[in-house]
A and B are shown apart, each in its own frame.
Chain A
Amino acid sequence: MVKIGVLGLQGAVREHLWAIEASGGEGIIVKRPEQLEEVDGLIIPGGESTTIRRLVDKYGFMDELKKFADDGKPMFGTCAGLILLANNLVGYDEPHIGVMDVKVERNSFGRQRESFEADIAISGVADNFSAVFIRAPHIVEAGEDVEVLAKHNDRIVAARDRQFLGCSFHPELTNDHRLMNYFVKMVEESKSKNFA
């Protein structure tokens, strides 16, 4: 069984743990950088990206997260997590972790009253996935080697770049675990490759 961490500094942490377990993985909350050594993959949950970033810096997570990515370990960012993974942010000089080759715009659908649910198709995952968008970002541009997995109204809302998976919406707020199953498989493949 693969062990998947959920970065537990702020946000919807427990929902991801439930989803990991429902998808056949073991989930743990990662609150300290040294815990990254224990896990095969990492989820950066939805929350407030500015808050999570501040706490990432405060507790010396940044270098460790970059190292985790360099080691080829899978990472999955939802909403705020996608913002943290992106290597380019509209309106900002510097990215956060900056490992995924996508350009992301924050709050790009508007404020909370514009937050919405919509059925979307996720390539290779689901034809009809009920996606919850909350003050959501979207991917403005994806790098050449990035696989676009889902669009909503012509905006990219889910993508995969090598071992990095990101989406604008919150799969953890529904009981549909198909996207989490997809990520758990990515972690299982990466783990078996490392042992091979």
Chain B
Amino acid sequence: MKTGTNRVKRGMAEMQKGGVIMDVVNAEQAKIAEEAGAVAVMALERVPSDIRAAGGVARMADPRIVEEVMGAVTIPVMAKARIGHIVEARVLEAMGVDYIDESEVLTPADEEYHLNKRDYTVPFVCGCRDLGEAARRIGEGASMLRTKGEPGTGNIVEAVRHIRKVNAQVRKVVAMDMDELMTEAKLLGAPYELLMEIKQLGRLPVVNFAAGGVATPADAALMMQLGADGVFVGSGIFKSENPAKFAKAIVEATTHYQDYELIANISKGLGIPMKGMEISSLAPEARMQDRGW
């Protein structure tokens, strides 16, 4: 009997496919998310848009919040650790969190190295903007990916850019001649063996969700249509006018992402979504997606 194997860690993410993972900051929100049909919740101290507003250093949530959320729901609970923060990750693992997000939404603890995620029993999800970043994270032991988008903006444009880029680069690798693969690995900054695996499988070896800017049911369906395996919604739900209704509508749109009549129906009278931000209005240091190496 073996725990923490690749199959067990990656398999957990396979079970989340076609689902929505929602950011929550307390037990009450976690229950709303579960009731709406979320496949997991991400326990945080603040949602990304509030992290932006608050400024300063964003860290792992107070373990009391994580514990409260774990006690409130039966679906899996994820939590975020700072990039490279070995101890935050170990603390979350010791608490029994089901998945750790080594996340650019928090202020990085290490500006050079990510966690060696192979060392942990708990699985990790990491952000990516392109195949090189995706492959480096898998190389370090990430069991699940999510494209980064730009968190806390309610603007889908970066999420679209990233999922298109990753999938276009995967298609390129799959179509490539074996002779060309090593140079591609060099150019992408990706482990060669992983590119060989991608070529052989015809896809990434782990599940890839979309994140960072999903604010409406149509946004969620768009990400699915562009090839995401599922969707993370951060600020989009609990910063909207009617979170319970929004949460349900986003779950349904993710399941039936090609049923446009249904998406029209569930989008009627949802109330005001979170206020969005133009990406060009962000100062370079406020761009969370640029964190990660």
Contacts and interface: CB of A to CB of B under 8 A. Distances in A.
Interface of A: 8-13, 15, 31, 46-48, 50-51, 54-55, 58, 79-80, 106-107, 110-118, 132-135, 170, 173-174
Nearest to B100: A112
Contacts of B14: 12, 15, 46, 170, 173
B19 A107 contact: no
A47 B255 contact: no
Interface string B1-38: 11111011001101111110000000000000011111
Specify the main secondary structure of chain B where it touches its partner.
Answer: loop
A51 B19 contact: yes
Interface stretch (B91-99, B166-174, B190-198): B91-99
B223 to A, nearest CB: 15
B289 interface: no
Indicate the size class of the contact surface on chain B: 35 or more
A11 B98 CA distance: 17
B246 to A, nearest CB: 15
B119 to A, nearest CB: 13
Contacts of A15: 14
B50 to A, nearest CB: 26
Contacts of A135: 12, 15, 76, 98
B123 A54 contact: no
A12 B7 CA distance: 13
Contacts of B39: 10, 47-48, 51
Contacts of A134: 8, 11-12, 15
Nearest to B230: A10
A174 B11 CA distance: 10
B1 A117 contact: yes
Contacts of B75: 48, 50-51
B18 A11 contact: yes
Interface of B: 1-5, 7-8, 11-12, 14-19, 34-40, 74-76, 93, 96-99, 121-123, 251-252, 255-256
A117 B7 contact: yes
Nearest to A173: B11
B18 A117 contact: no
B255 A13 contact: no
Q: Which 5 A-B pairs have the closest CB atoms?
A: A112-B98, A54-B37, A48-B39, A10-B18, A118-B1
Contacts of B74: 50, 106-107
Nearest to B93: A113
A47 B17 contact: yes
A12 B15 contact: yes
Contact of B11 (A9, A110, A113, A170): A170
A107 B77 CA distance: 13
Contacts of B2: 116-118
A128 B98 CA distance: 28
A31 B256 CA distance: 8
A51 B73 CA distance: 12
Given A11-B17, A117-B8, A170-B11, 16 more contacts: A10-B255, A47-B16, A51-B75, A54-B251, A55-B251, A55-B252, A111-B76, A112-B76, A112-B123, A115-B3, A115-B12, A132-B8, A132-B11, A134-B8, A135-B76, A174-B7
Contacts of B16: 47-48
Nearest to B259: A31
A11 B76 CA distance: 14
Contacts of B34: 50
Contacts of A132: 7-8, 11
A46 B15 CA distance: 6
B58 to A, nearest CB: 24
A12 B98 CA distance: 18
A51 B15 CA distance: 11
Contacts of A11: 15, 17-19
A51 B99 CA distance: 18
B37 A50 contact: yes
A113 B121 contact: yes
A51 B38 contact: yes
Contact of A51 (B4, B8, B251): B251
Contacts of B251: 51, 54-55
